[in-house]
Structure 1
Amino acid sequence: METYTSPKRVVRDGHLVAFEGEVMSTDEAVRRGLAIEAVKAPEPQAEDLTVKEIKAKLDAEGIEYPKAAKKEELLALLEADLYDDEEE
């Protein structure tokens, strides 16, 4: 969850909207009119990942792979794991 910190005390129409240093979710800041809704960057596609990044994802999932595996092989393992997660 992304957070927003109010840089100053904000009062509108005599009502306190946020106090200086108040931390809230970005969604709450948007709701209060303190921030505009952020446009999130698209998630990188698996093909855009480096071999090192793919291996790190596989390691995080506990998926074993051959030490000399090529990028295509690693991607296949990663995509197979993502497909398995979607079925659960």
Structure 2
Amino acid sequence: MIINVSKAKANLSKLIDMAYHGEDVIIAKNNLPLVKLVIHKPKEKRKLGLLSGQIDIPDDFLDENEEINDMFYGSNLNQY
């Protein structure tokens, strides 16, 4: 259903109910579709440790790499 803003203001509760029950509700301005009214679906909470034991992170993962530091800061980094 496409409905203009002025009619949508007067029938908002009805439009919300229609969207809740799965009907497409599009609000238009000057007969130009602008927005679609959709129901809010809460995101599921993520579970900590979901990939535990499935990914191997090396012990030196957070160690600095001299070659990469030289690329970012230049090879003169250790002179100061």
TM-score by length of 1: 0.26
RCO comparison, higher one (Cα < 8 Å, 6+): 2
- Name the one with the larger helix percent: 1
TM-score by length of 2: 0.28
